[in-house]
Structure 1
Amino acid sequence: MAASLDVSGHCLCGAVSYNATAVSHDVGVCHCGMCRRWTGGPLMYFDVEGAPVIEGAESIGVYKSSDVGERGFCKRCGSVLFWKVAGEDRYTFTAGSLDTPSGFILTKEIFVEDKPAFYEFANPTEKLRGSDAMSAYTGDEPK
């Protein structure tokens, strides 16, 4: 497994910035209907260890989109920032919010059964069904 690394990022307007420890250089893509509706396309994300340090937290809006997840965004400019496990310090941040995305690589796609046919990624990735991806976050057995 690749070593973790310190990263920073911010929203479009700069009202919210963060520092966090990325688990690895791996970027995942979520094809679920909620992420596609939220971002206008697939959500590209990376996993973070523990809670990030956030400046401008008063500018973050949080939407509880399910029993499992909460979505964070900048209330000022609307930038999509993170998805997290509800009630826990388990975050995934958007790859597009990174200040320095060099070295990151797309390695995984989740909710592949929900991916529309009008796009495809060129590089090979691990592909997981939604139930398998969610069990990794919740610890529950896939249904």
Structure 2
Amino acid sequence: MCGAISFTINADVSTGNACHCTSCRKQSGHYWASIDVPRDALTIEGNDHIVWYQSSEKVRRGFCDTCGSTLFWDPVFRDWTSVAMGALDQPTQMKLSMHIYVSEKGDYYDIGDGLPQNQT
């Protein structure tokens, strides 16, 4: 949002997912829409402005230390990072492909877009 952090994705990524788990909802304020990007295809400028929060032993979440924007969900034992779809410049030409952790979704909304819904 503020421009302190920017990134480039050098991969053909066209779909993302919407995570409805309790942690993602609490962290983002609703559900977390993201794309999974191979780490070696993600170039980040402004690394010194990323604050990492270790939300579990397996995952850390990256925020901007200037404006607080949530940008990354990083499973530390995998070779990819999830990037917030809302942080991408428009037009993205990307689409959501599925909903995950719908068993934990908030009771204040319905999912009605017809995409696959995985319970976990």
Q: Secondary structure at the match of 1:24?
A: coil
Q: CA deviation at 1:59?
A: 0.2
Q: Per the alignment, do residues 22 and 28 of structure 1 end up closer, same or farther by CA in structure 2, a change over 3 Å counting? A: farther
Q: Does 1:26 align with 2:20?
A: no
SS at match of 1:83: strand
Question: What are the equivalent positions in structure 2 for 1:50-61 lying under 5 Å apart?
Answer: 50-51=39-40, 52-61=42-51
Number of the residue aligned with 1:136: none
- Match of 1:128, SS? coil
- Deviation at residue 99 of structure 1 after TM alignment: 1.1
| TM-score normalised by the chain length of structure 2 | 0.90
1:112 to 102, 106, 110: 102
1:13 aligns with 2:2: yes
Supply the AA of the counterpart residue of 2:27.
Answer: W
The DSSP-based 3-state class of the residue aligned with 1:126 is coil
Q: Which runs of 5+ in 2 are unaligned?
A: none
Using the TM superposition, give the Cα deviation of residue 50 of structure 1 relative to its aligned residue in structure 2, in angstroms.
Answer: 2.5
CA distance in 2, matches of 1:37, 1:23: 30
Q: How many residues align?
A: 119
1:41 aligns with 2:30: yes
2:107 is paired with a residue of what secondary structure? coil
For the residues of structure 1 that align with 2:99 and 2:12, how far apart are their CA atoms?
17
5+ residue gaps, structure 1: 1-11, 131-143
Please report the TM-score for the alignment, with normalisation by the length of structure 1: 0.76
| Superposed CA RMSD | 1.6
**Quick one: which amino acid aligns to residue 37 of structure 2?**
V
Which gives a bigger RCO, structure 1 or 2 (Cα 8 Å, sep 6+)?
2
State the 1:107 CA deviation.
1.4
Q: Secondary structure at the match of 2:108?
A: coil
Q: CA deviation at 1:127?
A: 1.5
Contact kept in structure 2, 1:44 and 1:95, CA below 8 Å = yes
Identical positions, percent: 34
Does structure 2 retain, via aligned residues, the 8 Å contact 1:29–1:110?
A: yes
Q: In structure 2, how many angstroms separate the alpha carbons of the residues matched to 1:23 and 1:66?
A: 29
Instruction: State the one-letter code of the partner of 1:70.
Output: R
